[in-house]
């Protein structure tokens, strides 16, 4: 089979939300695979999607992508991400907050060791 994708996709199971235009509303979906350039989405039921681009939000990755539909079959949809850079969701500074928390934890552990050693 001829591979037409520009980059390999990673198999994942991420929860996502597809927002269809201004009046199309939004639908929950599952991201089944993803790459830099696109993704395969699964909806809980057969969906009718507009031709216009949609915004795919993946909270776990803290990102939102503008995407266009390349194909759909039953409840599966293949999308290609727009060349514009992905939008970082508010609060997506999770990695920075985690590093800060881990640093604080190490400082507290060090202080506990000091206090136990003084007794």
pLDDT tens-digit readout, 55-73? 999 988 888 899 999 998 8
Strand partners, 80: 38, 68
**Which CATH superfamily is 1-88 part of?**
predicted glycosyltransferase like domains (2.40.10.220)
Q: Which two tokens stand for residue 100?
A: 């800060």
Average pLDDT over residues 13-17: 93
- Alpha helices (H) along the chain: 94-118
**Minimal CA–CA distance to 49: which of 26, 15, 31?**
26
**Minimal CA–CA distance to 56: which of 76, 26, 94?**
26
Please give the span between the terminal C-alpha atoms of the chain, in angstroms, as a whole number. Answer: 71
In the DSSP assignment, the letter for residue 4 is: -
Q: Which two tokens stand for residue 65?
A: 């992508």
pTM of the model: 0.64
84-112 confidence digits (pLDDT tens): 655 555 555 666 677 788 888 889 998 99
Q: What Rg value do the Cα atoms of the chain yield, rounded? A: 21
How many C-beta atoms surround the C-beta of residue 40 within 10 A? 20
């Amino acid at each position: 089979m001829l591979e037409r994708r520009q980059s390999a996709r990673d198999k994942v199971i991420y929860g996502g939300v597809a927002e269809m235009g201004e009046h199309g509303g939004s639908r929950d979906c599952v991201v089944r695979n993803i790459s830099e350039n696109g993704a395969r989405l699964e909806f809980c039921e057969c969906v009718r999607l507009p031709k216009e681009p949609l915004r795919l939000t993946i909270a776990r990755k803290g990102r939102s992508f503008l995407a266009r539909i390349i194909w759909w079959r039953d409840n599966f949809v293949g999308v290609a991400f727009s060349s514009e850079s992905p939008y970082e969701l508010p609060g997506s500074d999770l990695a920075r907050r985690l590093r800060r928390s881990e640093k604080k934890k190490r400082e507290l552990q060090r202080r506990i060791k000091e206090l136990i050693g003084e007794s």
